[in-house]
Amino acid sequence: MRSAAIFSLFTFAFMLNSFAQEIDTKKLDSFFYALKDQNKSMGSFAIAKNGKIVYETSIGYSALSPDSILASSATQYRIGSISKMFTAVMIFQLIDEGKLSLDTKLSKYFPQMPRAEEISIRNLLSHTSGLMDYVNDVVDKDWITNPHPAAELLDTIAKRKLHFSPGEKQQYSNSGYLLMGYILEKITGKKYSKLLETRIVKKINLKNTFSSIANSLGKEEAKPYRMIKNWSDIKDIYFPNVIGVGDILSTPADLLVFINALSTGKLISKASYAQMSTFNGRNSFGMGLISVPFYSQVGVGHNGGTYGSYSAVYHFKESGISIASCINGLNYPLNDINIAVLQISNGMSFKTPNFKAMQLTAEELKAYLGVYVNKMLPFKMMIAENSGTLTAQATGQSAFPIEAVSKGVFKFDGAGIVLEFNLEKKEMTLKQGGQKFIFNRQDN
């Protein structure tokens, strides 16, 4: 989906003391209470050890209006790109049944796609097709929030040239999984939602996992929110646009059942699972799975992000620990939540962060206000004041609150953004995802 990059975890060496120790549920409770108390997250979380769920909790609300409904273990969340794991599993089921192969060409099903005779199922699964990304490679980011027929979605992909030759490199593409969702339907003659039900949901007895449900129709579905001073509504992706790509509703408990069933051979053959979980060189993507390094361990799974929901499910064979997160309100990096949960679950030293922001006077806030520009970037950043809080807003995007963490340093945890100001130089440095950009404040 929109946010498809892996939430990279720490990779330096660490030898766990013991995989057999009990998980410190009190420390987990303390961490999640702090997230809830400081409005850092709303959602549901679960942990399994050796395939058995040993911890579940929910914080915040599944809906704030018209009635406030507390989130619970029964709350269903949009899991975004974790849906791709389900699509990949069903593709491999067809391969196991001899109805498809990794070398089957896209031209057999969609000859109108660019260089379709060169693109294989293997390429679609591993993000090596070169196809444009119909969700992200568009100027109008709100396009995907409105209904579009399948023919229009396919035409959008077909009209664009490849980013690179098939197999030349690896670049995340939602388009490949949309096409595989349609290929599943073409081969079986059944809708994706029915295939999900019969091939996975009923097979491993999932309780709260569904596909092809339009936005906010399920009574248990969590509504998405973003933090702007308070939790506010956000318009999410129109999910029938992303069937097989990022539309599935599920819960952390169901996700844990799913990933443990996958890793123990209950859904596909051992050979197919080996294909799914093979990573070439430094590539993070296998064939429907993502590699997740955590100290000396390497797990597999996937994460997901729509415009208003965030999720992750990871399984670590070495420790037998699996974690799942489903979130409908995020004001703190999901990566940091996952790291905290894994550290606590593995018996590592962990201290709950102090989430409270510094309090600044109106005069102190005033010093940061203005419009900041970077000549190399196609947008400006406006820093404004709203009810005693600074907000940042990029051209054409919504404003978001930034919290003071030290003198001249502000952050927006929801997107992992840090803004550092040098008032004397009239500069602002934007840091995000390991990159940094220097902006200069425009004089009035």
Of 15, 14, 1, 32, residue with least CA distance to 323: 32
Contacts of 264 (CB under 8 A, 6+ apart): 51
Could you list the pLDDT tens digit for every one of the 444 residues in the chain?
A: 644 343 433 333 333 333 446 899 999 999 999 999 999 999 999 999 999 999 999 999 999 988 899 999 999 999 999 999 999 999 999 999 999 999 999 999 999 999 999 999 999 999 999 999 999 998 888 899 999 999 999 999 999 999 999 999 999 999 999 999 999 999 999 999 999 999 999 999 999 999 988 876 556 899 999 887 789 999 999 999 999 999 999 999 999 999 999 999 999 999 999 999 999 877 789 999 999 999 999 999 999 999 999 999 999 999 999 999 999 999 888 999 999 999 999 999 999 988 877 888 889 999 999 999 999 988 999 999 987 889 999 987 778 888 898 889 998 877 788 999 999 999 999 998 788 999 999 986
Residues in the chain: 444
HSE-CB at 107 with a 13 A cutoff on CA atoms is: 8
Neighbours of 175 (CB within 10 A): 26
- The structure tokens listed for 304 are 């997901």
